[in-house]
Amino acid sequence: MANLDKYLTIEDLMKAARRRVPKMFFDYADSGAYTESTYRENTTDFEKIKLRQRVAVNLENRNLATTMMGQPVSMPVAIAPVGSTGMQSANGEIKAARAAEAFGIPFTLSTMSICSIEQVAEGTTQPFWFQLYVMRDRAFIERLIDRAKAAKCSVLVLTMDLQILGQRHKDIRNGLKAPPPITPKFLLELATKPAWAFGMLQSKSYTFGNIAGHVSEAVDLSSLSKWTATQFDLTLNWKDIAWIKKRFGGPVVVKGILDPEDARLAVEHGADGIIVSNHGGRQLDGAPSSIRVLPEIVDAVGDKTEVLMDSGIRSGQDVLKALALGAKGTFVGRAMNYGLGAGGEAGVTRALQIINKEMDTTMALMGERDIHHIGPHNIYSNELLKRQGY
């Protein structure tokens, strides 16, 4: 593995991942719905927020450690649930979970992961979080929740914004599947990605590990794909939080909140936390960025629940901006995927190191020593933010 210290930014890792990972899988991680306007604004809206610099302050003994959902973390960052992570690098979910564990932050496993809950649990030593898509087959979902409990998952992340799949043009054009179709075009590409291809020979799974072997109707890849395509539950509603929470028996965080009224409803129906998220710009194209709506959602729920945030975070500065606008913690998905594609477990570690270093240096230049003190006073101009619509 090449020396990863040469990668100084998440963008550096992104460029390296593009070189190493087959196009259909890199594009899957690096795309949004339709015109990708929301995907782009997730990052460009962060750039509009300016930080307040302070000087002549004692900067000794700085602290980034805090908690997320009551769990001690080395910095207010968790790894977001990302489907098909195991196609960025063999056993990618296990590698990312190990990197997160070593760094002292939460890892969240997607329902649509390549490695199964059990495989990730076997490959790690600490509890991780599990993200749940509610499907029509409620018996399967109940068993899936039970499997997460058996694996000692400490938090259940309930995604509410995928009752219907947003169209991602790149995935359709690339013919995305897991495993990939063995076409002449794909074989030709593999010839230019030998490290990825060789690594995949070591994979523990080549399909959706949480589903394969657990659904009677899905006996092979073809039937599994057909079953999954029919399982989006159009009837999912706020009342479903109650039975999911009862079944899991632990904290349930609702992901996919972009509207203050939805935030209030989530709290009313028992959410222990919410994640302000537009699914990385992969669902409703034209929706606002997560950072743009974060302040009004924080205002709507106050201290009634823990407000977390994802979508668009590419640096430690982005994390600090989210905290300044009211988030208690953040998630990184693409940054993790870029690291994984660039260098496997070590690449994820490098991504976390980059974000951590950026947070520490930026916090110091803002005149702060403790992450708990970050707030609206660290933003250059609250009035400017209001005029920009934040």
Q: Return the pLDDT at 232.
A: 85
pLDDT (mean) for 16-20:
96
**Residue from 340, 302, 327, 311 nearest 115 by CA:** 340
236-292 residue pLDDT tens: 999 999 999 999 999 999 999 999 999 999 999 999 999 999 999 999 999 999 999
The pTM for the full model equals 0.93
Q: Is 372 a catalytic residue?
A: no
Query: Which token pair is 192?
Result: 């230019």
Measured CA to CA, the distance from residue 57 to residue 338 in angstroms comes to 36
pLDDT(178) > 70: no
Query: Which token pair is 304?
Result: 């009634």
Compare 347 and 166 and report the one with higher pLDDT.
347
User: What is the amino acid identity at position 22?
Assistant: P
How far is CA 129 from its chain centroid?
Answer: 11
pLDDT (mean) for 140-156:
98
343-386 residue pLDDT tens: 999 999 999 999 999 999 999 999 999 999 999 999 986 555 56
88-99 residue pLDDT tens: 999 999 999 999
pLDDT(8) > 70: yes
pLDDT (mean) for 140-167:
95
H/E element holding 336? helix 334-365
The dihedrals phi and psi of 123, each to the nearest 5 degrees, come to: -90, 0
The pLDDT-based confidence of 24 (bands split at 50, 70, 90) is confident
Measured CA to CA, the distance from residue 310 to residue 279 in angstroms comes to 8
- Bond into 194 cis (ω within 30): no
200-215 residue pLDDT tens: 999 998 889 999 889 8
Quick one: three-class SS letters along the chain? CCCHHHCCCHHHHHHHHHHHCCHHHHHHHCCCCCCCHHHHHHHHHHHHCCECCCCCCCCCCCECCEEECCEEECCCEEECCCCCHHHCCCCHHHHHHHHHHHHCCCEEECCCCCCCHHHHHHHCCCCCEEEECCECCHHHHHHHHHHHHHCCCCCEEEECCCCCCCCCHHHHHHCCCCCCCCCHHHHHHHHCCHHHHHHHCCCCCCCCCCCCCCCCCCCCHHHHHHHHHCCECCCCCCCHHHHHHHHHCCCEEEEEECCHHHHHHHHHCCCCEEEECCHHHCCCCCCCCHHHHHHHHHHHHCCCCEEEECCCCCCHHHHHHHHHCCCCEEEECHHHHHHHHHHHHHHHHHHHHHHHHHHHHHHHHCCCCEHHHCCHHHECCHHHHHHHCC
Least confident of 100-109, 190-199, 297-306: 190-199
Compare 165 and 161 and report the one with higher pLDDT.
161
pLDDT(227) > 70: yes
Q: Which of 214, 269, 279, 372 is catalytic?
A: 279
pLDDT(116) > 90: yes
Q: Return the pLDDT at 335.
A: 97
287-328 residue pLDDT tens: 999 999 999 999 999 889 999 999 999 999 999 999 999 999
- CATH for the stretch 4-388: 3.20.20.70
Q: Return the pLDDT at 225.
A: 67
33-85 residue pLDDT tens: 999 999 999 999 999 999 999 999 999 999 999 999 999 999 999 999 999 99
% residues pLDDT > 70 (the chain): 94
Q: Return the pLDDT at 70.
A: 97
> CA 35, 38, 39 angle in degrees (round to 5)?
85
For the chain, the domains span 4-388
The pLDDT-based confidence of 165 (bands split at 50, 70, 90) is confident
pLDDT(387) > 60: no
